[in-house]
Chain A
Amino acid sequence: MKKMRDVPLREAQLCGDNWQGRLAMGMRKVAVVGAGMTKFMRRAQETGRELAYQASKMALDSCEMTLDDIDSVALGTAPDAFDGVHMKGEYLSDGAGAWNKPYMRCYVGGGTGVFAVIQGWYHVASGLFDTCLVVCEEKMSSCKPHPQGAFLTIFDHTTERPLKPNLVWIFALEMNRYMTVHGLDKKDIARVAVKNKRNALDHPCAQVAADITVEDVLNSEVLAWPVQRLDISPTSDGAAAIVMVAEHVAKRITDNPVWVKGVGWSLDTAYWTSRDLYYPRYVESAARMAYDMAGIAEPRKEIHIVEPYDPFDYKELHHLEGLLLADKGDAARLTAEGVTARDGNMPVCPSGGMLGVGNPIAAAGLMKVSEIFWQLRGEAGKRQVPGQPRTGLAQSWGDLMQVGCVAILGI
């Protein structure tokens, strides 16, 4: 790695106050140059601020930068109801290194983790900034007795909330619909949980890595049929952070930057009860936007590794189809045939995903982007996929089965 301390970064960046000159560059290339994450765990002793600090510090250290080099900070964190802190973005700001800096929080429910990267991208691509620290934090354990309680308040106050629905309940509807339309068996879906939890055994930050079998999943407690305990990711505390920079800065910091090739996001109607849940059309819409920006015409050939959002095992399959990486109803077959294994043709969730590593909502999305970053740089250690992947895709999903966020990274 090149040392960047030879020339003071800030001096070179500001080009003598010529901000308008920098704006003239138009569409700028944006690189990810550093990443860090805390361990994901059921209950962290640290406060949310401390988690955010730890992840930011690791990300900065990984590319030998300090807060002085950071022009702006973007934060992603999901509902305030978890922490019980109003304006949680403000509360977390100094933990995320935003003291006396331009700082903005973005929010698209469960999709926030990958959206934070999109926000970091437009901070830098706009030309207003050369560097942006992107931090995602979630502390779900503050919500007692269980974070599921916070989700009672996400539903429409007039038409849905009186029914007291929870997330497992509505995702059971979606999973059922998906299985019915495509004639899938629970066994076809349980393989995803087995694969991801096994992949996570190699992840040092993993919360629920395990070597289990399909039978274990099928025999686990039924929560809301067809959802069983081992079909679901856990609730977690944790944080992740990445450093995003403009091209000229990236070239001075590192020999192997990972470029943001394309981003896309899309939000479907709030009236989820009026949609056919078997297919995530919003993910397709976001994916098409990202492929378009990245100039990808044949995603199945050009995307080498995928980190789709997998809070439930069926969601990985659902999302692979939405991302146009599998035919509708065909993702389960790919899993059964090992195509999506770490040594398969198209490794999916080589990190272990949220089913294995854990699911601190926003931080889990950023963990997926970090995994792509490490995989493309060949720094994923025991999780490294074989061959030399050049392009990876991370995707997150959230709200009322409603939002898709996609980031495509490449070297």
Chain B
Amino acid sequence: MREVAIVGVGHSGFRSITPDMSYKELMYEAAARAYEDAGVDPRRDVQSFVSVAEDFNEGTSIFDEYVPDQIGGVLKPVHTIPGDGIHGLIAAYMQVLTGAMDVVMVEAHSKASNVLTLTDVVAYAMDPIYNRPLGANPVFIAGMEMNRYLHHTGTTEEQCAQVVVKNRSNGFLNPSAAYGASLSLDAVLASQPVSYPLKRLEISSHADGAIVMVLASGDVAEQLSYLPIWIRGVGWCNETPSLETRDWEGATYARKAAEMAYRVSGIRSPRLEIDFAEVDDTFAYKELQHMEALGLCRDGEAGLLVEEGATELDGDLPINPSGGSLGVGHLLDASGLARVLEVVLQLRGEAGERQLEDAETGLAFGWRSIPTTSGAAVVLSV
């Protein structure tokens, strides 16, 4: 079996605004750090480059035009994946698996602060015939889904709010997090409802930043790194873009992505074999819904685990030790790669004050946010 490992990571940010840096500078800084970390020269060693971007988020059509220069990819194989950061990671992973490439990099970034009308941009992702004419703020999708999820599983609003308290407090320990805060449960519950029952503080705020990772095939990884982080398995899935026919309860896309990732990595009992996880928490309830869909606990159990503190840094199953999107900031399509970044740092023992003990296998899961049902998972081990 051809094995693949992450041998270098670098990031720039994450901050709520970055008026001093363009997206190109963010990408350059992250790439330079990742190449330094991996000990590779992009012009000589990196054989292929994968960038993650969506045109409307960038305000530029055919955005991949502006990718190669700042990551060292000029006149080399470079392509874009308009997907989650983990989709990009998987594209790089597959290229190494083919045997045609040994060293491949993946990049994802967010310059969300440049987008003045982010909600309007998201509204453009709605079906142009059936949904867009309604003119609704797209966050209603999250409100409706949260309502359905609470009703279906018996999870309470307090349990969802506890996710916010935990993640933003984890963010305090993460020097890269933009939204670390010490919040009380009441403050979250008392925050303004945006789309009932979803409240303002349960929605992650956007941040700017860039993340780059360098992947290498087994033997090359052993040469490059004293502690390669092995990609044990990947999985991804799209349910349906149609609001009318999708599963509103159980995040089917996450369930199927995880099934594939566990199958590829040979994990039979995720609850026993996964030490910690970074899962998408764009909205607080999503962390709980995703935990259940990913098989980290039974349906309806995630809320209880959060309430009991099992998902805290010192709990049995730490979830989002980085602070997640709620604490770090939502990085648009780079969010998934931010989840992977934390798993890599934890497995390397480089997570500083938020370092978990005995972390050997971690799961990262990213979701492309409303209105999509597109998710990707990756299992990493030391």
Residues of A within 8 A of B (CB): 17, 19-20, 23-24, 26-28, 47, 78-81, 83-91, 93-94, 98-110, 115, 118-119, 121-123, 125-128, 150-151, 153-154, 156-157, 264-271, 281-282, 285-286, 289, 293, 398-400, 402-403
| Smallest CB separation, B345 vs chain A (Å) | 26
* Known contacts A17-B263, A99-B238, A104 near B124 by CB under 8 Å: no
State whether A107 touches B124 (Cβ < 8 A): no
Q: Is B74 an interface residue (CB 8 A)?
A: yes
Q: Is B235 an interface residue (CB 8 A)?
A: yes
State whether A90 touches B368 (Cβ < 8 A): yes
A293 to B80 alpha-carbon distance, docked (Å): 22
* Known contacts A103-B238, A103-B374, A107-B82, A157 near B128 by CB under 8 Å: no
State whether B68 touches A270 (Cβ < 8 A): yes
State whether B241 touches A285 (Cβ < 8 A): no
Question: What per-residue 1/0 map shows which CB atoms of B240-264 lie under 8 Å from chain A?
Answer: 1110000000001000110010011
State whether A87 touches B372 (Cβ < 8 A): yes
**Smallest CB gap from A152: residue in B:** B61
Q: Is B77 an interface residue (CB 8 A)?
A: yes
**B97 contacts across to A, CB distance below 8 A:** 23, 122, 125-128
**A23 contacts across to B, CB distance below 8 A:** 1-2, 97
State whether B55 touches A80 (Cβ < 8 A): yes
A30 to B111 alpha-carbon distance, docked (Å): 38
**A399 contacts across to B, CB distance below 8 A:** 62, 64-65
Partner of A150, one of B54, B61, B236, B252: B61
**A126 contacts across to B, CB distance below 8 A:** 93-95, 97-98
| 6 smallest beta-carbon distances between A and B, as pairs | A126-B97, A27-B99, A86-B124, A126-B94, A267-B78, A86-B125
* Known contacts A24-B1, A79-B55, A103-B238, A267 near B129 by CB under 8 Å: no
A11 to B315 alpha-carbon distance, docked (Å): 41
Considering only residues 67-122 of chain B, those with a C-beta below 8 Å from chain A are 67-69, 73-83, 87, 90-91, 93-95, 97-100, 121-122
What total of A-B pairs shows CB separation below 8 Å? Answer: 203
Q: Is B239 an interface residue (CB 8 A)?
A: yes
Q: Is B219 an interface residue (CB 8 A)?
A: no
| Smallest CB separation, A254 vs chain B (Å) | 23
Partner of A268, one of B2, B68, B125: B68
State whether B241 touches A100 (Cβ < 8 A): no
State whether B83 touches A89 (Cβ < 8 A): yes
| Smallest CB separation, A273 vs chain B (Å) | 13
State whether B100 touches A293 (Cβ < 8 A): yes
Q: Is B237 an interface residue (CB 8 A)?
A: yes
**B94 contacts across to A, CB distance below 8 A:** 122-123, 125-126, 128
A85 to B371 alpha-carbon distance, docked (Å): 12
| Smallest CB separation, B160 vs chain A (Å) | 25
| Smallest CB separation, A263 vs chain B (Å) | 8
**Smallest CB gap from B47: residue in A:** A289
Q: Counting chain A CB atoms within 10 Å of each CB, which of B75, B83, B235 scores highest? A: B75
24 contacts across the A-B interface (CB closer than 8 A) = A86-B125, A87-B56, A89-B82, A90-B125, A90-B238, A91-B127, A99-B238, A102-B260, A104-B83, A108-B64, A121-B98, A125-B100, A126-B93, A126-B95, A126-B98, A265-B77, A266-B77, A267-B64, A267-B73, A267-B79, A269-B68, A270-B65, A282-B75, A400-B65
State whether A94 touches B240 (Cβ < 8 A): yes
Partner of A81, one of B61, B73, B81, B235: B61
Partner of A154, one of B61, B74, B83: B61
Question: What per-residue 1/0 map shows which CB atoms of B262-297 lie under 8 Å from chain A?
Answer: 011010000000000000000000000000000000
Q: Is B154 an interface residue (CB 8 A)?
A: no
**A157 contacts across to B, CB distance below 8 A:** 59-60
A93 to B238 alpha-carbon distance, docked (Å): 7
| Smallest CB separation, B63 vs chain A (Å) | 8
**Smallest CB gap from A17: residue in B:** B263
| Smallest CB separation, B192 vs chain A (Å) | 26
* Known contacts A79-B61, A87-B82, A264-B77, A103 near B125 by CB under 8 Å: no
* Known contacts A122-B98, A150-B61, A26 near B2 by CB under 8 Å: yes
Count how many chain B residues have C-beta atoms less than 8 Å from C-beta atoms of the other chain: 63
Q: Counting chain B CB atoms within 10 Å of each CB, which of A20, A24, A281 scores highest? A: A20
| Smallest CB separation, B110 vs chain A (Å) | 15
A245 to B207 alpha-carbon distance, docked (Å): 41
Q: Is B226 an interface residue (CB 8 A)?
A: no
State whether B81 touches A106 (Cβ < 8 A): yes
**B242 contacts across to A, CB distance below 8 A:** 94
Partner of B61, one of A26, A80, A119: A80
Partner of A109, one of B2, B65, B237: B65
State whether A267 touches B62 (Cβ < 8 A): no
State whether B98 touches A104 (Cβ < 8 A): no
State whether A266 touches B75 (Cβ < 8 A): yes
**Smallest CB gap from B98: residue in A:** A125
**A99 contacts across to B, CB distance below 8 A:** 238-240
State whether A84 touches B124 (Cβ < 8 A): yes
State whether B100 touches A101 (Cβ < 8 A): no
* Known contacts A90-B372, A93-B238, A105 near B82 by CB under 8 Å: yes
**A94 contacts across to B, CB distance below 8 A:** 240-242
**A150 contacts across to B, CB distance below 8 A:** 61
**Smallest CB gap from B49: residue in A:** A267
State whether A85 touches B65 (Cβ < 8 A): no
A216 to B65 alpha-carbon distance, docked (Å): 35
| Smallest CB separation, A175 vs chain B (Å) | 20
State whether A268 touches B98 (Cβ < 8 A): no
6 other A-B residue contacts (CB within 8 Å) besides A105-B82, A106-B80: A24-B2, A105-B81, A107-B79, A108-B78, A110-B62, A400-B65
A400 to B372 alpha-carbon distance, docked (Å): 30
A23 to B3 alpha-carbon distance, docked (Å): 9
**B90 contacts across to A, CB distance below 8 A:** 104
**A402 contacts across to B, CB distance below 8 A:** 65
A118 to B91 alpha-carbon distance, docked (Å): 11
**B374 contacts across to A, CB distance below 8 A:** 90, 93, 103
A81 to B121 alpha-carbon distance, docked (Å): 12
* Known contacts A23-B1, A107-B79, A107-B82, A270 near B98 by CB under 8 Å: no
A80 to B241 alpha-carbon distance, docked (Å): 16
**A127 contacts across to B, CB distance below 8 A:** 2, 97
**Smallest CB gap from A282: residue in B:** B75
A79 to B99 alpha-carbon distance, docked (Å): 31
Question: What per-residue 1/0 map shows which CB atoms of B11-41 lie under 8 Å from chain A?
Answer: 0000000000000000000000000000000
**Smallest CB gap from B257: residue in A:** A102
A115 to B94 alpha-carbon distance, docked (Å): 15
| Smallest CB separation, A237 vs chain B (Å) | 15
* Known contacts A101-B237, A102-B237, A80 near B80 by CB under 8 Å: no
**Smallest CB gap from B62: residue in A:** A109
**Smallest CB gap from A281: residue in B:** B75
**Smallest CB gap from B374: residue in A:** A90
Considering only residues 323-382 of chain B, those with a C-beta below 8 Å from chain A are 368, 371-372, 374
